[in-house]
Chains A and B, each alone.
Chain A
Amino acid sequence: MRTVMSQTAQISRRTLLKALGVAGGAAAVSGLAGCAGPTGGPPPGSVTLGLNRSLVSLDNKLNQFDAAVTVQRAVRQGLTRIGPDLTPVPVLADRFELTSPTQWTVRLRDDIHYSDGSPVRIEDVSTALEMYAQVNGSYLAAFFPEWPTVVPVDDRTFTLETERPLPVLDYLMANILVTPAAANIPEELQSGLGTGPYVVTASNRGTGEYTLRRNDRYWAGAPHVKQVQVRFVPEEANRVVGLRSGELDLIDTITPDSAEQLQGLPEVRIERVRGTRINQLFYNFRKPKDHPLAKASVRQALSLAVDGRRLADEILAGSAQSAVGPVAQTLNGSVKCGAYHYDPRRAKQMLEAEGINDGDLRLTLIWESGEFAGDTSVMEAVVQMLGDIGVGVTLRQFEAGGNISEWRQGRAGDWDILGNGYASPVGAALPILQGMYGGTPERERTRDTYQGYVNPDVLRLLDEAYAEVDPARRQEITARVQQVVWDSWPSMWAFVPNSVLAYRNRVTDVALEATNSYELANVGLEA
């Protein structure tokens, strides 16, 4: 009896708990081991894209960042698109030609239809133009000096009429996406039909997630990939890890540092092309006349303090070039106007000549996280460079979804320099110049100019350029516009980044274009 009691006492509560602890630990470790591998790639026949910004709509009336173009045009298409050589290529139109200085004649293709089989009508084009014109805060409206009127000629042919010549209308129409007239409204569309190679089967604009299914009735032949998942993955590190683990198939707009991490991985390919986007440290042109930044000489002096070569070569690891004009050199019609030089001594002398000594000037630099690759590092480096000439800088970083747009308009707070990227989805210099520098006093009253930039000389030259139908003469004026803009020192520094995209080997035929987009219909999967 005593022996039995003694044995029972040996298996104490503590021993039992220890044993249970060991068993629980072993179970947890074996469970964790199961999590160590990839978390599960896309389903067969499916491709998953990881975007760096949230795609709030598949419509582009208000929102058109680079990566969005690829997805938006997989669902809706325009009469033209900007092709790989940055010239317009017909899409829904098979004829798009200038028939008189103020008239373009367009003919719709006879084989096009929406994903439900309904035909594309001329009325859809005219309604689309009206809706883009009516929407408040349109990003694209700035490119159009005037909106063309659609005049039907027959069932498929119509003319686009303007009051004044609009010689780049074929470029501009690449951004007007066509949707059935009855479903179009003057705001971003959340649903609806398109003529593109994919149809939307599920969407969540809050999380920026979309599921696209192959449009088997696509007029140009069904695409290769059955399903495309679009995900918003804001953190670049997560996108890189997602690509490495196979959770994502393709990530866009990555930093040189991430490209370096992915370089050499056997399962990943990287594509780079010279981009059309221009990233700027743009001055606030809404400052009062007696403010130092209202003087071009002060703006130039600050530019001289920024070592653009080091920023481009070291922080951006050679993946960007300092701008040599107000628009990217890749755009048709762009010219070299000058260069950003680094000369802090001269910068200091110029500031002193304006009566600005060490510590007299303090600037506020604002930007939104993810505005461009390596944005934070660039801003912090600029703080030190300006500090070296005695100019203090306060950084104010906005997270995505914050109210930077109100700040930009000067409605929420004062700022001096804006870190901003300007996409160039039209492929030509003239519309981009119009969009950025064509601000008028009328538009400034509603704060619809580009950071308050209103320059009567630029406006006059832009008017001249748009009125000129002779291409050579128009190019000459366009070049003069660029020089006038450049000489006004609108940016402390500007650079043109390469477009960098990484994808897994199972994905094929990803032809990245200078506009940082690619044709989703051509993308395939390895057999």
Chain B
Amino acid sequence: MTTTTETETPKRPSRVTPAQLRDAGVTRRSRTARVKIRVGAVLTALVVLPVALADLLPLPDSTEQDLASRRLPPLTDGHLFGTDQLGRDLLARVLDGGQVSILIGVLAVLVSGLIGLAAGAAAGYFGGWVDAVVSRLLEAQMSLPLLMMLLLVVALFGPSVPVITAVIAVAQWPEVARLTRSMVLVEREKPYVDAARTLGLPHRGVLFRHLVPNVVRQTSLVVLLLLAQAVLLESALSYLGAGPERPFATWGRLISDGQDYVTTSWWLVTLPGLVIVLLVVGVNLLGDGLRDAVKGTKKGATA
């Protein structure tokens, strides 16, 4: 009898079975988030690591031309990605272009994150005319066609790396600002904010020492998602001829230059395109996964 009791699986004090728990929405979401994070991290690392280590890899110079080796297909004569229309190693060009594209993307999202965080937090905390000004500004900007606006600014100020970084940064701040504002609106009503005020902390102190640290985590996830968008925007500008001046090899320009050879040298367009897809999908999955994980944690904590 005793033996029988020991070998039996201990009964849960609930009618909910482990199988039901496994299939429950929250468990499934948590599992999906983990998968997203892992897949996203792998895809992102596949692109970002070689780009970051491009200078250390044993690759030819990305600008070194060899007119006798034009448009060699992948895996020919030691060229993993083949060569382009001037005999330059395509992998070296893609990695070199990635440094420019990712640098612009990272700088742009950092700047847009800072602008959005500051403007959104101020709008949410102070309300009144500050909120009105920030809200109207971001509504006005969001109502403009983004790519047209970027092309216009680049046409006016010239296509240099700082200009393109600045325009992408300015283009993306509304996303961050909107999110930050809504979160600060919720946070400012909480007792710890009242307590801080009662203790005589000035508004700036309340905002930056208490409110911003509480919203910055979720904001940074949006910023991560914006990185993919920034890389895509930079590629679109380069593709349209408004990217950084040559000889910067950006992903958009590699595709634009290669499209004339699309039927005879598929790799010139396909491989840079694939790299963009890997990075964008990877970053999006990573961002999505982290957001879902944070939501789950927060819900759990609240419960």
Is residue A240 within 8 Å, beta carbon to beta carbon, of the partner chain? yes
The 7 closest A-B pairs by CB, nearest first: A395-B246, A237-B259, A314-B67, A399-B241, A261-B263, A384-B65, A237-B260
The residue from B67, B68, B257, B263 contacting A376, defined by CB atoms under 8 A apart: B257
**28 A–B contact pairs at CB < 8 A?**
A236-B260, A237-B259, A237-B260, A257-B261, A258-B260, A260-B264, A261-B261, A261-B263, A261-B264, A314-B68, A314-B70, A315-B86, A376-B246, A376-B257, A377-B85, A379-B246, A380-B65, A380-B86, A380-B246, A381-B67, A381-B86, A384-B63, A384-B65, A395-B246, A397-B241, A397-B246, A399-B241, A399-B242
Complex Cα spacing A397 to B159, Å? 10
Complex Cα spacing A454 to B194, Å? 80
Complex Cα spacing A369 to B241, Å? 9
Q: Chain A contacts of B241 at CB under 8 A? A: 369, 397, 399
Q: Can you name the residue of chain A whose Cβ is closest to the Cβ of B70?
A: A314
Binding site for B on A (CB under 8 A): 235-237, 240, 255, 257-258, 260-261, 310, 314-315, 369, 376-377, 379-381, 383-384, 394-397, 399, 402
Complex Cα spacing A377 to B70, Å? 11
Q: Chain A contacts of B257 at CB under 8 A? A: 376
Complex Cα spacing A402 to B245, Å? 15
Say whether, besides A381-B86, A399-B241, A240 and B246 are in contact (CB < 8 Å): no
- What 1/0 mask marks residues of chain B from 40 to 84 whose CB sits below 8 Å from any chain A CB? 000000000000000000000001110110100000000000000
Q: Can you name the residue of chain A whose Cβ is closest to the Cβ of B241?
A: A399
Q: Chain A contacts of B10 at CB under 8 A? A: none
Segment 124-156 of B: residues with Cβ below 8 Å from A: 155
Complex Cα spacing A260 to B64, Å? 25
Q: Interface size bucket, B side?
A: 20 to 34
Q: Chain B contacts of A402 at CB under 8 A? A: 155
- What 1/0 mask marks residues of chain B from 251 to 290 whose CB sits below 8 Å from any chain A CB? 0000001011111100000000000000000000000000
Is residue B202 within 8 Å, beta carbon to beta carbon, of the partner chain? no
Q: Can you name the residue of chain A whose Cβ is closest to the Cβ of B253?
A: A376
The residue from A257, A260, A377 contacting B86, defined by CB atoms under 8 A apart: A377
Q: Chain B contacts of A261 at CB under 8 A? A: 261, 263-264
Q: Chain B contacts of A377 at CB under 8 A? A: 85-86
Is residue B247 within 8 Å, beta carbon to beta carbon, of the partner chain? yes
Say whether, besides A261-B264, A381-B86, A397 and B245 are in contact (CB < 8 Å): yes
In the complex, are the beta carbons of B260 and A255 less than 8 A apart?
Answer: yes
Given contacts A315-B85, A381-B86, A396-B245, 9 further A-B contacts (CB under 8 A): A240-B263, A255-B260, A257-B261, A258-B260, A261-B263, A369-B241, A377-B85, A379-B246, A397-B241
Complex Cα spacing A482 to B265, Å? 42
Complex Cα spacing A236 to B259, Å? 9
Complex Cα spacing A53 to B257, Å? 18
Complex Cα spacing A257 to B246, Å? 22
Complex Cα spacing A384 to B87, Å? 12
B93 to chain A, nearest CB (A): 11
The residue from A240, A257, A310, A399 contacting B85, defined by CB atoms under 8 A apart: A257
